[in-house]
Amino acid sequence: MSRLAVLNSARTLADVPSTRPERCHPLKAKREGQYAVDLVHPRRLVFKPNHDPVPRKDDGGVDLDKVT
């Protein structure tokens, strides 16, 4: 399944696998607040949740179950 199909079929960001081949993961440093999924190495698809504010858990982490 293509990465766009995986993203399109996911109800929330928690539904996008954090394991290969998608490997959805948060970015750090200057790209904090953005996420990426792997494409064909070395490429990746970078995106940012379209929430203002981004839903947070009590510990301050992003609530992936609420990011749509």
- pLDDT tens-digit profile of 7-46? 999 999 999 999 999 999 999 999 999 999 999 999 999 9
- Region 45-54 average pLDDT: 95
- Region 35-64 average pLDDT: 95
Look at the chain and report how many structural domains it folds into. Answer: 1
Does residue 61 fall inside a structural domain?
Answer: no
pLDDT of residue 1: 77
8 A C-beta contact, residue 48 and residue 37: no
pLDDT of residue 49: 94
pLDDT of residue 52: 93
Does residue 12 fall inside a structural domain?
Answer: yes
Q: Could you write out the DSSP letters of every residue in 1-57?
A: --HHHHHHH-SSGGGS-SSTTT--EE--GGGTT-EEEE-STT-EEEE----SSPPB-
Residue 25: domain span? 3-47
Does residue 22 fall inside a structural domain?
Answer: yes
Does residue 35 fall inside a structural domain?
Answer: yes
